[in-house]
Amino acid sequence: MHSSAANAGECAQPEFDVKDAPSSNTEKIVVAKKAKFFVGGEMNSWFGVRIPAAGGDKSQVITLRFGAVDKLGGISIWSVPAAHSNGISPVFLSGDLAKEMEANGLTAYVGPPGGYVLRFSNGLTVYLSGDTGVTADQDLVVRREFHVTLAVFNIANRVMTGPTEAAYVINELVKPNAVIASHANEMATKGGKLLPNTKTATFKAETKVPVYSPLSRRTMEFGSDGKCHSGCQD
């Protein structure tokens, strides 16, 4: 879905008055940017059909499953496990199959959920958590194998790690030098300042390393050690 007006509603209650399904923003971004799209599980088959149907090319969809590595320019990309659901809603399907799945409250399974680790040419190594719970792999794989220095970590409540649980992951498992808070589904900042009594504020207060808020139209730059050089708002 997408809204008919830019920034309609608020972060916690956006307005979705125009329905885009059965298409998706993911497909539109990949096609518009002519991007390479790294996916795991059975999502390569799913998007291998969807991307060409949306006007792209099947070669844009690249399979990257757990334990594998690929490169894009000077960036190395790994797929790492996550703990979450990974089903396709019937709203993105068509025909009798979509109707039957919706009637039975089912989603289409497209393989295990995952996140990514990126290593840039300057050595900066970043953990993109995606939606996830707390997992042993955040210690055994993300920290011990890849020595991540920066994390972009999704926080919420009920559907995945809340702010306290996310702080535990950062403090005790991943142990990066900085973290960017993501996916809080709330109005976390106003005028570039973090608002009190938000999930993001709780996460920041309980996290031992610097927590930065992603702000529109602001670019953050990090060194290989994961420490911010410019553009960061804590």
pLDDT tens digits, residue range 14-60?
777 777 788 888 999 999 999 999 999 899 999 999 999 999 999 99
Average pLDDT of span 94-121: 95
- pLDDT of residue 137 exceeding 80, the answer is yes
pTM of the shown model: 0.92
Q: What is the DSSP letter of 195?
A: P
pLDDT of residue 233: 76
**pLDDT digits 0-9 by tens, 150-165:** 999 999 888 889 999 9
pLDDT of residue 82: 96
Q: Give the length of the chain.
A: 234
Q: For the beta carbon of residue 51, count every other beta carbon within 10 angstroms.
A: 21
Give 113-234's CATH code, choosing from 2.40.30.20, 3.60.15.10, 3.40.50.300, 3.40.50.720.
Answer: 3.60.15.10
Q: Where are the domains of the chain?
A: 113-234
Upstream peptide bond of 90 is cis (omega within 30 degrees of 0): no
CA dist 64 and 189 (Å) reads: 35
Q: What is the mean pLDDT of the chain?
A: 92
Question: Helices H, strands E: what count in the chain?
Answer: 6, 15
For tokens 């844009």, the residue is 60
Token pair of 172 as six digits: 């005790």
CA dist 45 and 119 (Å) reads: 26
CA dist 94 and 73 (Å) reads: 37
**pLDDT digits 0-9 by tens, 190-208:** 888 999 999 999 999 999 9
CA dist 183 and 154 (Å) reads: 5
| Alpha carbon of residue 218 to chain centroid | 18
